[in-house]
Amino acid sequence: MNNNEKEKKSDAELIEEAYKMSYTDWSLIEGLIEQAESEETKEILLSREKYLYHREEASCGCL
């Protein structure tokens, strides 16, 4: 396995972890973003973080 495959798997695992998180854990995704190797993965994680943040807002009746 070359480094690119290893990095992609690592990034894939980070994305998978983010998609398993509850909306109340949205702030934990920042730590995953810091671990991500590629800019694409960072963008995916940031998008997930924003989505979960807004889900939490909606659940609290803030929207």
Per residue in 35-62, pLDDT tens? Answer: 999 999 999 999 999 999 999 999 998 8
Q: For residue range 2-38, list pLDDT tens digits in order.
A: 555 554 559 999 999 999 999 999 999 999 999 999 9
For residue 6, what pLDDT is reported? 52
Question: What's the rounded Cα separation, in Å, for the pair 25 and 18?
Answer: 9
Query: Can you count the helices (H) and strands (E) in the chain?
Result: 3, 0
Give the pLDDT confidence score for residue 53 in this predicted structure: 97
The pLDDT value recorded for residue 5 is 53
Give the burial string for 9-25 (b: 16+ CB within 10 Å, else e). eebeebbebbeebeeee
Predicted local confidence at residue 63, as pLDDT: 73
Task: Write down the pTM of the prediction.
Answer: 0.81
